[in-house]
Structure formats: structure tokens, C-alpha cells
């Protein structure tokens, strides 16, 4: 029996969340617990089950406080009130391959670990939005890895120690104290949590290659989100908090670097790690540079 947390944030389009849900809606056992956390109250359409488990709860949080709209706050709120020993986190911007849950369950049955982490995840190319992903759900949930990789880049989350989703024993989460809510921004909260987990005597991680997931491009994606004023302000505030926690951004980056790990299997060809250019962002950047040039040119004449 497992507690499943399906975490949705308002920065992710509802249609992305529905794609994500379609990839897992048939996986739940009768006695499982499923908690749908709707942070921002943007899930208007009901998420339907193939076979609804016994324990289902929908939690909605509406707030104007930036840190309370975050992944960090959401996990700290829900994890302590789950029913079972094991919690699996599912995020609504990812589509999950059928291998994902079976890889986690095998490890839970073995009983050798108290946190189970994916080795890598696949970040969809610039065109892999909800519409593109919905048309290719069969490929993304059942397809061969090499075919999925044609439309994504590899993010080596194990090496970076920056896990978007994972399975964890509730006891370990509680002992760790959860995530540092000052670090609700980008790229620091999970390495900081892992640095504390590593100090817990009972901590035993298992890394699974078959926890395959595909990230859909959405409005809240870091590269896209910076174009939104609200998201830009949150990024700015989160960077200010990072300085409060670590002393400076340089020290924060040095900390993250210090947590990185060497690959445990031979790395893929280099071209699979390169960021594929978002054509829309490329056009926007050209327009921005042009506007800046024209502004400076005419300002000199005035």
C-alpha cells in the first residue's frame, strides 16, 4: 500500500496536468491513497480514475504568497499527513513511462532503501508542449527510450542532485524536517535537502534507471517563465532568499557544485545533453536586442 501525491502548480497549464494524469491514472491499487494537490486551484476538469482507490483526497491551496505557491511548500504541507509508509511524488508537468512505477515497486519490495530516485529524466524539446505530448502519449508512456530521446534532452538528475520527483519513506521525510522553505525558487532546494538526508544514519538511497519521465514545455518552465512578470518577480525574490541562506549566490552555487556526483554508468553521447534552441525564445531575444539598439540610437539624438 502506497500514498501517491499528484502535485499540480498553477504555473503548469491544466492540459499538461491532464496528460500527466493520463500516464498514471490506471496504476493505483485498491488500498492505495491518492492525494491530488492543486496549488493555485487551476484544475477545473475532474481527474478521473480507471479504478478509483479506497482513499482519495483533493487538496486546493489558494494564496498570493509566492513561497506558498511553490513545490517546496506543497511537499512540506502534504507529506506529514499521508496515510502510508511510502510516498510517491508525481508532478503534473511530467509524463511517466510504464516502467516508472514497476521500478519503484521492485525497490520497495526489496526493502533495502528508504528513498528511491530516478537516474535521469528527459526534458522535452521546445515544441513538446501539451498538444504535441497528448498526440504522442503512447510513445511517451510505452515507447522505446531511443525514440523518446529524439524529442528531448537528457537531464542527469542523479549527478546534479536535483530531483523533481521521487519515492520516500514517510519516516525519513519527517526525520529530515522536509524542505527549506526559504529555498522555494530554482535549483537549490533538493541538493540542500539531500545534504541533510546524508547526515541521517538510516539514510539509504536507491537509484533506478527505469524511472523514465518526460517533461512537457509549459508556461511556468524556467526558460519560458522568465518572460512572465509574475514569474520573473518570484525568481528575483527566490534569488534574494538564496543569498540569505548561503551568504551569497557564489557560495550557493559552490554548495550545489559540491553536492554533484559522478555518473554511475557511462554517460550518453554529448549531443544528448545539449539544450535544444527554443525558436520562439530566439526570436524574442532578437526583437529585444533590436528594440534596445533602436532605443539607445534615438536616445542619443534627443
Spell out the domain ranges in the chain.
3-277
C-alpha angle 189-190-191 in degrees, rounded to nearest 5: 100
- Separation of CA 174 from chain center: 21
For residue 72, what pLDDT is reported? 85
Mean pLDDT calculated for residue range 232-259? 83
Instruction: Give the mean pLDDT of 159-176.
Output: 94
* C-alpha to C-alpha distances, 63 to 24, 45, 133, 294, nearest whole angstrom: 28, 20, 30, 40
Residue 225 pLDDT level (bands cut at 50, 70, 90): very low
Q: How confident is the model at residue 296 (pLDDT cuts 50, 70, 90)?
A: low
**Mean confidence (pLDDT) of the chain:** 87
pLDDT for 284: 44
- Overall pTM > 0.75: yes
Mean per-residue pLDDT, 25-48:
95
More confident residue, 121 or 237: 121
Helix 249-259 / helix 189-197 crossing angle, nearest 10 deg: 50
pLDDT at position 271 is 86
Question: Has residue 227 got a pLDDT over 70?
Answer: no
Mean pLDDT calculated for residue range 248-267: 89
Tell me the pairing of strands 94-96 and 55-61: unpaired
Does the pLDDT value for residue 285 go beyond 70? Answer: no
Cβ count near 12 (within 10 Å): 25
d(CA 248, CA 287): 33
Higher pLDDT, 232 or 261: 261
Q: Is residue 214 scored above 90 in pLDDT?
A: yes
- Across the range 235-245, mean pLDDT stands at 80
b/e 172-189 (16+ beta carbons within 10 angstroms → b): bbebbebbbebbbbeebb
Radius of gyration of the chain (CA): 20
Tell me the per-residue pLDDT of 64-113, one tens digit each, with 9 for 90 and over: 776 777 778 889 999 999 999 999 999 999 999 999 999 999 999 999 99
Pairing of strands 55-61, 33-39: parallel
Distance CA 113, CA 269 (A): 31
Query: Of all residues in the chain, what percent carry a pLDDT higher than 70?
Result: 84
Number of Cβ atoms within 10 Å of the Cβ of 300 = 7
* pLDDT grade for 252, boundaries at 50, 70 and 90: confident
Q: Which fold has domain 3-277?
A: Spore Coat Polysaccharide Biosynthesis Protein SpsA; Chain A (3.90.550)
Amino acid at each position: 500500500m502506497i500514498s501517491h501525491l499528484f502535485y499540480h502548480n498553477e504555473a503548469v497549464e491544466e492540459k499538461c496536468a491532464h496528460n500527466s494524469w493520463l500516464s498514471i491514472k490506471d496504476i493505483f491499487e485498491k488500498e492505495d491513497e491518492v492525494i491530488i494537490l492543486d496549488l493555485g486551484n487551476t484544475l477545473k476538469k475532474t481527474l478521473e480514475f480507471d479504478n478509483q482507490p479506497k482513499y482519495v483526497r483533493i487538496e486546493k491551496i489558494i494564496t498570493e504568497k509566492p513561497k506558498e505557491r511553490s513545490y517546496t511548500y506543497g511537499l512540506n504541507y502534504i507529506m506529514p499527513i499521508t496515510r502510508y509508509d511510502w510516498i510517491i511524488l508525481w508532478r503534473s508537468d511530467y509524463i511517466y513511462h510504464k516502467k516508472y512505477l514497476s521500478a519503484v515497486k521492485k525497490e520497495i519490495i526489496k526493502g533495502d532503501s528508504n528513498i528511491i530516485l530516478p537516474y535521469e529524466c528527459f526534458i522535452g524539446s521546445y515544441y513538446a508542449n501539451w498538444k504535441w505530448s497528448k498526440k504522442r502519449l503512447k510513445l511517451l508512456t510505452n515507447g522505446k527510450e531511443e525514440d523518446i530521446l529524439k524529442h528531448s534532452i537528457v537531464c542527469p538528475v542523479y549527478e546534479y542532485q536535483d530531483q523533481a520527483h521521487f519515492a520516500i519513506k514517510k519516516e525519513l521525510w519527517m526525520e529530515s524536517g522536509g524542505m527549506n522553505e526559504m529555498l522555494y525558487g530554482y535549483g537549490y532546494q533538493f541538493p540542500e535537502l539531500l545534504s541533510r538526508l546524508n547526515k541521517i544514519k538510516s539514510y539509504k538511497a536507491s537509484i533506478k534507471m527505469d524511472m523514465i519521465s518526460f517533461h512537457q514545455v509549459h508556461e511556468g518552465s524556467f526558460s519560458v517563465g522568465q518572460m512572465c512578470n509574475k514569474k520573473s518577480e518570484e525568481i528575483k525574490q527566490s534569488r534574494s532568499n538564496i543569498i540569505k541562506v548561503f551568504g551569497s549566490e557564489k557560495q550557493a552555487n559552490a554548495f550545489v557544485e559540491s553536492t554533484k556526483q559522478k555518473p554511475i554508468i557511462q554517460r550518453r553521447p554529448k549531443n544528448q545533453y545539449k539544450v535544444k534552441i527554443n525558436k520562439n525564445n530566439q526570436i524574442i531575444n532578437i526583437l529585444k536586442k533590436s528594440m534596445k539598439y533602436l532605443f539607445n540610437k534615438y536616445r542619443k539624438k534627443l
